Amino acid sequence: MSDSLVVLSVGGSLLNNGKPDADMAAKIAGALKSAGLPLGIVCGGGQQARKKAEKARKKSGSEFEADLAGIKITYKNADCLRKALGPEAGVKVFKDFKAARKAALSQKYVLMGGTIPGITTDADSALLAEALGAKRLVNLSNTAIYDSDPRTNPQAKKFSRMGYDELISLALKGDQRKAGTHFVFDMLACSLIARSKIETHFVDGRDLAQIQAAVLGQAHVGTVVCSNP
Ligand code: UTP
């Protein structure tokens, strides 16, 4: 495995507001290709996943089925980004970590969606970073990490750097918020990056210069979670 490999988690809201967004995928792919590093990439589900999950939940009364419906959309989004990245992204989206690890030996970009019901692509990206021995994980969503929700608190303070324990305390607070609001990175994902000391960068994925800086480990305006904050 290349020592320079970075793992990227692409939030579903960036790639899918009803259907996979090929234009946005092309923009993100352009930024990733100019960064030049080999990447393991996990894509989230976005709006379409929530809609399909809700439909499956109503029909089956099963959270397991709802999750499977969500996972299906994560594959579609990952496939859209795979196509935008071109031949170096291989011919398929991987559904398990060992297969992705094997593929990473021979192709520059390895794409994944969700894996099993009950978790999220936040956790999948942390697991892929562990599987590939990545030194850095980059989370693309629409926000960095704040001490409270910046959408409801104008005084919210952004963290430039923070430790794993601090992140876990914030995620625990987020867990107790009311349904429908959730913390940037879920609790399982936070525990995984903490146990493996994976340096994790949170940046706004709508800003292509920020994506590139974070992938390359350069200064950016988001948040870095690491052992030496
Ligand atoms: P995510 O919730 O991870 O995607 O996956 P997202 O759109 O980036 O998440 P937000 O924007 O933070 O909400 C979509 C859904 O797919 C299922 C879950 O139901 C999840 O909510 N999923 C995903 C799984 O069940 N297992 C996985 O490994 C990944």
Collapsing DSSP to helix, strand or coil, 152 comes out as coil
How much distance in Å is there from the Cα of 189 to the middle of ligand 1?
Answer: 12
Whether the predicted pLDDT of 66 surpasses 70? yes
Q: What is the pLDDT of residue 149?
A: 84
Whether the predicted pLDDT of 178 surpasses 70? no
- Mean per-residue pLDDT of the chain: 94
Ligand 1 atom nearest 71 alpha carbon:
16
Provide the angle, in degrees to the nearest 10, between the axes of the packed helices 164-175 and 187-196: 170
Q: How confident is the model at residue 177 (pLDDT cuts 50, 70, 90)?
A: very low
Once rounded to an integer, what is the mean pLDDT over residues 51-79? 97
Closest residue CA from atom 25 of ligand 1 = 117
Instruction: Give the chain's domains with CATH numbers.
Output: 6-225 (3.40.1160.10)
Ligand 1 atom nearest 66 alpha carbon:
19
How much distance in Å is there from the Cα of 49 to the middle of ligand 1?
Answer: 7
| Ligand 1 site residues, Cβ closer than 6 angstroms | 11-13, 44-46, 49, 53, 67, 70-71, 74, 114-121, 124
Q: Which residues pair with 166 in a beta bridge?
A: none
Q: What is the pLDDT of residue 143?
A: 84
Q: What is the pLDDT of residue 176?
A: 57
Cα dist from 54 to 9, 48, 60, 219, whole Å? 23, 10, 10, 39
Q: How confident is the model at residue 73 (pLDDT cuts 50, 70, 90)?
A: very high
Strands 109-112, 136-141: pairing is unpaired
Q: Which residues pair with 141 in a beta bridge?
A: 204
Distance CA 58, CA 55 (A): 5
Q: What is the pLDDT of residue 135?
A: 82
